[in-house]
Amino acid sequence: MNQTPLSEFPLNPRLAADTHFVTSLELCNVLLVNDARFVWLILVPRIEGAIEVFHLDELQKVQLATEIDQISGVVLDLTNCEKLNVGALGNIVRQLHVHIIAREISDAAWPGPVWGVGTAKPYSAEAKSTLLKKIKSRL
């Protein structure tokens, strides 16, 4: 499938509502989940209609892996976390998206997965701005 230009890419409304836009990479938009309990980024390939990773063509798959690697590095550098969780689930939002989450033994969901656990704790405007700056400075 062809890549959609950034300005025309229709982000799923639920993803848009639950996240802050960070930046756009070659293939993916990078989003910060608005939940201060976890440092949690999401990559969304700008490929309209893609639901599963195998819907991407070979070059796009390689690029997605590269960007997962890049964002994993950013999250690790930011948090020095105990473990990264990387996953493409999409049971609720079908638009293909990949979660990259810093996990800590002290976090609200450890050692379980984060999805569906408790209630998101939105960032304050200041915390959001500070974190977005830290992320962008590493990209």
Locate 93 and state its tokens: 């939002």
Neighbours of 132 (CB within 10 A): 16
The least distance separating a second copy from the CB of residue 13, rounded to whole angstroms, comes to 17
Q: Which is nearer to a second copy, 74 or 123 (CB)?
A: 74
Q: Which is nearer to a second copy, 90 or 131 (CB)?
A: 90
Judge contact between 101 and 112, C-beta under 8 A: no
The least distance separating a second copy from the CB of residue 47, rounded to whole angstroms, comes to 16
| Backbone phi, psi, residue 112, to 5° | -75, 175
Q: Which is nearer to a second copy, 21 or 115 (CB)?
A: 115
Instruction: Return d(Cα 69, Cα 65) in angstroms, integer.
Output: 6
User: Which residues contact a second copy (rule: CB under 8 A)?
Assistant: 51-54, 61-62, 65, 68-69, 72-73, 76, 83-92, 94, 103, 110-113, 115-116
